[in-house]
Structure formats: C-alpha cells, structure tokens
Structure 1
Amino acid sequence: MSGKFIVIEGLEGAGKSNAVRVVDAVLASHQIPVIHTREPGGTPIAEALRDLWKQGLNGEVTTDKAEALMIFAARTQLVETVIQPALAQGKWVIGDRHNMSSQAYQGGGRNLAELVDKIGEVVLDGFEPDLTIYLDLDPAIGLERAKGRGALDRIEQQHIDFFHRTRERYLALTQNNPKAVVINAEQPIEKVSDDIQQAVENFLKFAK
C-alpha cells in the first residue's frame, strides 16, 4: 500500500489532539507505519517560522499578508523535506493542520482568500491530503475549551467574528469535497472518537 496523507483540521478547542490519537490507533491496528507532523512547524526552519509568526520580534507582530506568507514558507519546507519523502517510502503521514487551515484562517478569517489560493497553487502544485477530517463546532464553544487549557495565544485572542468567518470557510471547503469528512465536535468525546475511527476505517477500504 502506498503512503497516504491524513490531515486533522478544526478550530481552537475542536479536539485535534484526540483526533490524531484516534487516527494513529486505527492505523496501528492495521500495522501501517506512521509519522506525525504539525503546521506551522515540523522542521527546525518551520518551527522557527512558527515562533516568529506567533510571538513577533522585539514587539513587532506580523501583518496579515506576512502571516500568510510565513505559514506557506513553513509548509513548503515541511512538505518537501518531510511529508513527500515519507510518502515516497510508503509511510503514512498524520498531519495536525495543512493547507485548508490557511484557506480557512487566512483566507476566511483574514479575508485573504484570493491571495491564499494563488500562493497555494504555486507552492503546492496540486499536492493535497488524501483524507481531511474536519472537526466542526461553534467557535464560542471551542474558545471556552481553549481557555480551559490556559492562557490564549495570539490567534486564540482574535475577535469571535474572525472565528465565525473561519468556520464558514471551513464548511464551504468541505462541502461536496470527496476527500473530506466533517465530524460534529460538539458531541461527547467518545462519540467523536467513534466517528473519527469509522471515517478512517471507511477510507482504508478504498486506499491502495
């Protein structure tokens, strides 16, 4: 079986970490070799860009367009040096976020959809996940969950309208997308986990 790229997407507090564990467990039960990635990040250069984007430097924070460019720079580094080589070796990759995050957060939340789409076309050249699991929930619920984890980061501190725009873009991107599965992340975690497991098992039936 050739390597496949499965990505977990969702707003803050959607339960991406739990989803990664569930997907990992399903693939392990089928004895499928797996590596894990996260975005932005996943390589030393990409992690440095993540820190710069999130924290700024000497009091200077990134502009919206610079944010989009930095995330794509980190993504390119990760795809070319980690993800594609792993897939070529027959390994499966579980990604915590990928390009749909940029389309939703920077494209929808920041209102930069045209820029994000253009950069993605050039940088990714058609590369995309084989399966995207999108964990959908009301932004207000997600942010309350995020607050329970501790202090909110720069992105989590955005106005609620930002997250509503992001969610709307996620829903538009996943609608009628044969490579995407939408999971109701407002359900009890046991039901969410069961739905994720079923989505991966269904995918495995047709994976080659």
Structure 2
Amino acid sequence: MGEIVALVDYGAGNLHSVHNALKAVGANVAVTADAEVVRRADRIVLPGVGAFKACADGLRAVPGMVDALEERVKNGGAPFLGICVGMQLLAARGLEHGSHEGLGWIAGEVRIIEPTDARIKVPHMGWNDVSVSTPHPVIEGGEAYFLHSYHFMAEDADDIAAHTSHGSPLVAAVAKNNILGVQYHPEKSQKFGLDLLKRFLEWKP
C-alpha cells in the first residue's frame, strides 16, 4: 500500500487541487480532519488559502490537530510540507488584521507585501521565478504560480530555501530539518509543481 500522506482538512485549503496533484505523482493520500490519522501518517501536507487568522483559527478548531502535528512532525520527524498559508502558519505570528499566533516552528513573522516600486501590484499573483537560496533536496529553481498579499519574513537566513522577487525580494520557500514550506502553489505550477511534490514524496530528512 505504501506510505500514507495525510492532507490536512481544516476548512482552509485548496484540497481538491492539492489532492489531485499528489495523486498524479503517485501518493497514497488520506484527506483528513482526524488527528489520529495525522499521528499515523508517514508524510503530512498542510495546504492553506485565505487569511492567516482564519487559517490559524481553523486549524486550532480541529480537535487535537495541532497537538498531533507537533507530535508527528516536531517530535516524530515526519516529512512536512506547508503550501501557501500552510507555509505561513509555520511562523511565530501573522500580522494580518492584528497579531495572530502561528505554529512557531520556524522563527519569523508574516507581514503584508510592501513593494518599493508603486507600480508593483499587491497581491503578488501569477507566474514568477523561484531561485534557490539555501540548497535543499526538494527545492529547485524554476517558475511557479503565486497568489498572496502577505509574505514570510524569516529571522534566520539559513531557513530560507528559495526566494522570488515582486518589487523586492520575497521568501518563496522555508526549510528546517524535516519541515518544508512553499509560498507558491505546486498544484497550480504544472510540471514544476508536480516535480516538487514528487521530490517531497522521496525526501528522507
């Protein structure tokens, strides 16, 4: 049957597209809002679309889910992939309509994009380059699809796996031990995104 990839359903993710993309690269996916399934999973994917606060509240509203993620990922070492707001939730806090607590797994905070050039529009939407910052077995350079108005400001440069530019440099991926997050949408990034998901399935942190 192979490894189980838990795709966390907390009412704030692009579940259908992410599910289809994972299946397309051969993953055995369990879409779940059950903390016990997450505790038993071999790999975990946390999607996220919308506002930081809504996603953080949604995740905490699922009984036992944050504890299960801490146990399986932080303590158990399971490979983890956060996508878009799922990546942003790795930060200590998000500063969207106030200050809201994240998971705090990677030091930093999520702030609104403030381009230095007034001609640059926010949200950052569409295809843009991804450039490797710190080498990582899952992250490669290329072109990916982005859609976000807030960005992850990592405290430690070593935690930045990739960057992009939208009027100024923005973090495109963060990584720390078995934890990985991408700001872009692999499920909307065609071959580039599918290749990333395939590498995630093969990754042995």
- Give the TM interval when normalised to the shorter protein: 0.3 to 0.5
TM-score scaled by structure 2?
0.37
Q: Which has the higher contact order (CA 8 A, sep 6+)?
A: 1
Q: Which has the higher strand share?
A: 2
Task: From the two aligned structures, give the one with the greater helix fraction.
Answer: 1
